[in-house]
Structure 1
Amino acid sequence: MPTVAQAFEQFMQGLELHAGEEREAKRQERNVFDAMRRHLGPRESILSGSYGRSTAIRPLHDIDLFLIFTAAAGGTGDAVGPEAFLRRVKQALEQEFPGKQAKLQNRSVNIEFSGTGIGFDVVPALEDPRRPGIYWIPDVRKGDWIQSNPRKHIEVCDVANARATQRLKPLIKAIKRWNQLQGKPVPSFLLEVMAYSGIDSFRPASHLSVYAQGMAHLYQFMSEHIMDQWPEPAGLGPPVNSGVGQTNLVQGQQRLSGATRKAAQALELERMGDMPGANALWRELLGPDYPVR
């Protein structure tokens, strides 16, 4: 029977992307970028979202592909509304990949490739000519363009991970797996942003699994602060939880509170030396990929 620390190490390794998934994702990213360049002429692309921040988990599904356009490229600019520009992207993708049905979303267009199951959320972005590194992306629900900076998101995540001695990203991945098992009541990015702050008050004890303590700490922090206003990490766009319905927030808080109680029980069993009991509770929280033997 593994200790809790050993079980967590094995579980965390199982969440990591395989080398083949990484290669295939990058190959498909290049194909999508080349296809869009033939039609709309983006200047460059950024692999953003959880993949870009190295917080994506297996199995890999949708990858955010941030396409940067100059304001004048392809007739874009103030005269083109956000939904109209997204429709241009959708049309270009469907022309380049016959038989694929691209899906219009609030800020992106999704296209999935058969065989791998990997899809891309293509986010068109207009570079601000006066402020390098600041981009305008469409928001259909708002009917307007909003500001974003995915490179700043990556930087903020990396800095928080460094403060946590490289343990934050594995914890974020584990929280995401838990969220999947709950039916995703909380948007993944909101969980990440809360984790950046929550990890700062984490003080692990030396005689218990650090990852187990980190999970328990983040569950409690998130349950207590999910109703707070969470600014966008780059300080540009609307708050991260601005588009999350109250029902989802309440449900997320209830699930996080329940997880907090179960995690506290697991820590107590580990403290008493009952590794099978502690691991069984963590398996209830984190699913069948968490090893108990």
Structure 2
Amino acid sequence: MITLPDAFKKFKSSLELNEKERTNASKRQKEVRGHLEDAYDIADSFLTGSYARWTKTKPLKDVDIFFVLGDGEAHYRNKHPDVILTDFHKTLEDVYGRDAVKKQGRSVGVDFGVVVDSDDNTDFRVVSVDAVPAFVDGDNYVIPNNSNGKWMGTNPKIHADKAVAAHQAFSNEWKGLVRMVKYWNQNERHDEKPIKPSFLIEVMAMECLHGGWGGSHDREIQFFFATLRDRIHEDWPDPAGLGSPVSDRMDSAMIARAQRILDTANKDIAHAIDLGRKGKNGDALKAWRVFFGPKFPRS
């Protein structure tokens, strides 16, 4: 039977992107860009967000793709950001169908109809992407923000650099822990994610996972979940100092729901750790698998 430390290492490894998944993500980026280029002046496109920061968990959903609009689309900058999102939605709906395309607050989601099996496997394929219209703005970018009807500044490079710094300061264990918590957050037993957006988990981890790696995944998970519960109600600004607070999607009702779920999560974590402490390795493995989901190994 696998030991708990080895189970966490195997779990961490199972959530890392592999070459087949990166190849499929690149293929989807080029595919969607091809469709958008028929309708818009696309100066550049690239995979970004948690995918580019290596904090994306599995199954691969909502992979962000920036579509940098060229000079021919400059007129959109003077319009409500919903205009470009509506137009992107119409263009992609004509290709993928109404049920597969969804307009969101800052992007347009495209679902490729990939089936996720009972072990959260997708045959190394991306389930969905988020097409994000963007304009270059000096050294930064601006993207739509329908929550306030304005174009919002952002800088993926700053986000990536901060993630690298946090990872290195935590003995290169930071990204693995973030992926684990994100995997828990999208567990289907929650009906919908308790913490939105998933980037909020990452932003909180930049500040809360400090002091150096303690050497134990279960104890670090316990500490981080306790901190999530205690601080989920706070305002968490954009790490790049450009956009709206990352926590602005969490209204009071969503915060209260997240706190209730996190209360239960913290009890479940304490129970799993106690089983391991008592030498009940098999029961502890089962408890962690129930907590996280099917990617957590039992052997």
Partner Cα distance (1:151, 1:73) in 2: 25
Alignment partner, residue 29 of structure 2? 29
Partner Cα distance (2:294, 2:45) in 1: 37
TM-score calculated relative to the size of structure 1 = 0.88
Query: Could you list the per-position Cα deviations for residues 2-39 of structure 1 after superposition, in whole angstroms to 9, with x for gaps in the alignment?
Result: 21101112222222334322211111111222332342
Q: Across the two proteins, how many residue pairs are aligned to each other? A: 284
CA contact (8 A) 2:65 2:130 kept: yes
Alignment partner, residue 176 of structure 1? 182
> Letter of the aligned partner of 1:190 in structure 2?
L
Partner Cα distance (2:166, 2:27) in 1: 29
CA contact (8 A) 1:68 1:126 kept: yes
Secondary structure at 2:142's aligned position in 1? strand
> Letter of the aligned partner of 1:15 in structure 2?
L
Alignment partner, residue 194 of structure 1? 204
Partner Cα distance (2:93, 2:296) in 1: 40
Distance change in 2, residues 1:92/1:75 (3 Å): farther
Alignment partner, residue 282 of structure 2? 276
Query: Could you list the per-position Cα deviations for residues 34-53 of structure 1 after superposition, in whole angstroms to 9, with x for gaps in the alignment?
Result: 33234211211231122121
Secondary structure at 1:241's aligned position in 2? helix
CA contact (8 A) 2:170 2:213 kept: no
TM-score calculated relative to the size of structure 2 = 0.86
Partner Cα distance (2:250, 2:159) in 1: 19
Alignment partner, residue 19 of structure 2? 19
Q: Root-mean-square deviation (CA), in Å?
A: 2.2
Partner Cα distance (1:230, 1:201) in 2: 20
TM-superposed deviation, 1:73 = 2.6
Q: How does 1:1-293 map to 2 (within 5 A)?
A: 1-70=1-70, 72-95=71-94, 97=95, 99=97, 101-114=100-113, 116=125, 118-128=127-137, 131-132=138-139, 134-181=140-187, 182-183=190-191, 184-187=193-196, 188-201=198-211, 204=214, 210-293=216-299
Runs (4+) of structure 1 moved beyond 6 Å? none
- Gapped runs of 5+ residues in structure 1? none
Secondary structure at 1:176's aligned position in 2? helix
- Gapped runs of 5+ residues in structure 2? 115-124
> Letter of the aligned partner of 1:21 in structure 2?
E
Secondary structure at 1:220's aligned position in 2? helix
Query: Could you list the per-position Cα deviations for residues 191-242 of structure 1 after superposition, in whole angstroms to 9, with x for gaps in the alignment?
Result: 11111112104552x5xxx211221111111111111111111111111111
